[in-house]
């Protein structure tokens, strides 16, 4: 079969043949580049539609669905971009007249050897796949994994990036993650501990805090963040001349710190306004129990 890209008879001079071959090569490489751009745009369009479908048809809170869509979209965009670039490079090398078959075969052999030698990398990929598939956490969640607690800033098949409370970023291989503690899965329940002096009567303290929680629920600054009415859990522990009273609120995960801090500050202010001491004075002892009524 004649070569359709062979130079015509009028281009038999060396200079004309070289110019013609260069033009054909440029056209072929241009088509490869255009095809790669088209595939990248097409993949981006499909991934965008997938993100919209997750946001609109998924089950769960809108914020959680948006974070899941953003996480999956970022991973799929990275994978599709890498695949298209690799294929385009192989096609470009082939158009330059180089035989890519030995290179592909060598890459396959290297991949097998690397797979046997880099089992931890394969384990990271598998673990990352199941983290994403099971929706264990997404970007924006507050989690504790591999002994590190923080907010998820990035998630790939290879690793998870966490930023802790000090601002440090931790890069954790997914294969090292055995147990995931997600404190912001769908909703959050900040627990507030209020220390009170043992010299104060618990019944009076609990009455003041109950009244505070009723006002706190309707607070215009944080009232809209509540998923349920704040609860007074009662006295938790006694130590060091104090006992601890537990308060809890259920709120949207993105407002957990706002609600928790507002509850702690409001409870302390209300107790002080009522004349209730949070710390026992030096040398003070717990009040003696009332004598039992004679039978």
* E runs forming strands in 97-210: 142-145, 148-155, 159-163, 169-173, 180-182, 187-188, 191-197
Would the pLDDT of 9 be above 60? no
pLDDT of 286 higher than 60: no
pLDDT of 244 strictly over 90: yes
Q: What is the pLDDT of residue 111?
A: 58
- Give me the pLDDT at residue 145, please: 92
Residue 182: pLDDT over 50: yes
Instruction: Indicate the pLDDT class of residue 245, thresholds 50, 70 and 90.
Output: very high
H and E: helices and strands count for the chain: 6, 10
Residues 259 and 218 in one domain: yes
User: Are 191 and 177 part of one and the same domain?
Assistant: no
Structure tokens at 179: 């147990």
* Whether residues 157 and 232 fall in one domain: no
Do 88 and 34 have their domain in common?
A: yes
| pLDDT tens figures, 118-133 | 677 778 888 888 888 8
* Residue 288 placed within a domain: no
Residue 249 shares a structural domain with residue 177 = no
Identify whether 212 is part of a domain. Answer: yes
Residue 169 has pLDDT above 90, yes or no: yes
**pLDDT tier, 274 (very low <50, low <70, confident <90, very high otherwise):** very high
- Say if 121 falls within a structural domain: no
Domain that holds residue 205: 187-273
> 């082939």: which residue's tokens?
94
The answer to whether position 241 is within a domain reads yes
Query: In this model, does residue 83 exceed pLDDT 60?
Result: yes
Cβ atoms of residues 172 and 127 within 8 Å:
no
- Residues 92, 22 within the same domain: yes
Which tokens hold the place of 283? 């040398």
Please tell me which of 15-29, 47-61, 164-178, 184-198 the model is most confident about, judged by mean pLDDT.
164-178
Given a cut of 70, whether residue 201 has pLDDT beyond it is yes
Q: Based on the domain organization, do 166 and 198 belong to the same domain?
A: no
CATH of the domain at 143: 2.30.30.60
With H, G, I as helix, E, B as strand and everything else as coil, classify residue 161. strand
Residue 109: inside a domain: no
Where among 182, 215, 242 does a domain terminate?
182
Q: Are residues 159 and 143 in the same domain?
A: yes
Confidence (pTM): 0.55
Q: What average pLDDT does this structure show over 150-168?
A: 89
Q: Is residue 62 part of a domain?
A: yes
Question: Domain for residue 29, yes or no?
Answer: yes
Grade residue 271 by pLDDT with cuts at 50, 70 and 90.
very high
Would you say residue 281 has pLDDT above 80?
A: no
**Residues 84, 137 share a domain:** no
**Mean pLDDT calculated for residue range 20-31:** 80
| Rounded average pLDDT over 185-214 | 90
- Burial class of residue 252 (count of CB atoms within 10 Å of its CB; 0-12, 13-18, 19+): buried
Q: Are residues 21 and 57 both part of a single domain?
A: yes
Residue 246's pLDDT is 94
> Same domain for 61 and 136?
no
**CB-CB neighbours of 262 under 10 Å:** 19
pLDDT(206) > 90: yes
Q: In the β-sheet with 142-145, what is the strand arrangement from edge to edge?
A: 169-173, 159-163, 148-155, 142-145, 180-182
The domain total for the chain is: 3
Determine the 3-state secondary structure of 235 from DSSP. Answer: strand
Cα–Cα distance for residue pair 117/111, rounded to 1 Å: 10
**Same-domain pairing of 177 and 192:** no
* 115 lies in some domain: no
């Amino acid at each position: 079969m004649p070569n359709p890209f062979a130079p015509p008879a009028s281009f038999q001079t060396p200079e004309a043949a070289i110019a013609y071959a260069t033009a054909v090569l440029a056209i072929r490489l241009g088509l490869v580049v255009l095809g790669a751009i088209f595939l990248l745009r097409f993949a981006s369009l499909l991934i965008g539609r997938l993100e919209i479908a997750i946001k609109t048809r998924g089950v769960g809170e809108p914020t959680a669905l948006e974070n899941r869509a953003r996480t999956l979209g970022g991973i799929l965009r990275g994978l599709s971009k890498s695949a298209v670039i690799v294929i385009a490079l192989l096609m470009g090398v082939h158009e330059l007249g180089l035989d890519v078959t030995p290179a592909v075969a060598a890459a396959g052999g290297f991949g097998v050897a690397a797979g046997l030698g880099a089992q931890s990398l394969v384990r990271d990929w598998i673990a990352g796949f199941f983290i994403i598939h099971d929706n264990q956490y997404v970007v924006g969640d507050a989690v504790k994994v591999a002994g590190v607690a923080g907010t998820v800033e990035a998630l790939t098949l290879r690793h998870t990036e966490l930023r802790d409370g000090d601002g440090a970023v931790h890069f954790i291989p997914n294969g090292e993650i055995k147990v995931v503690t997600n404190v912001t899965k769908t909703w959050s329940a900040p627990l507030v501990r209020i220390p009170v002096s043992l010299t104060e009567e618990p019944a009076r303290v609990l009455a003041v805090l109950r009244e505070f929680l009723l006002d706190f629920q309707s607070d215009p600054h944080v009232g809209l963040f509540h998923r349920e009415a704040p609860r007074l859990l009662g006295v938790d522990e006694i130590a060091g001349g104090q006992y601890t009273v537990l308060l809890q609120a259920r709120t949207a995960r993105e407002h957990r710190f706002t609600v928790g801090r507002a509850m702690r500050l409001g409870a302390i202010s209300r107790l002080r306004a009522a004349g209730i001491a949070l710390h026992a004075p030096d040398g003070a002892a717990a009040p003696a129990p009332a004598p039992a009524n004679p039978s």
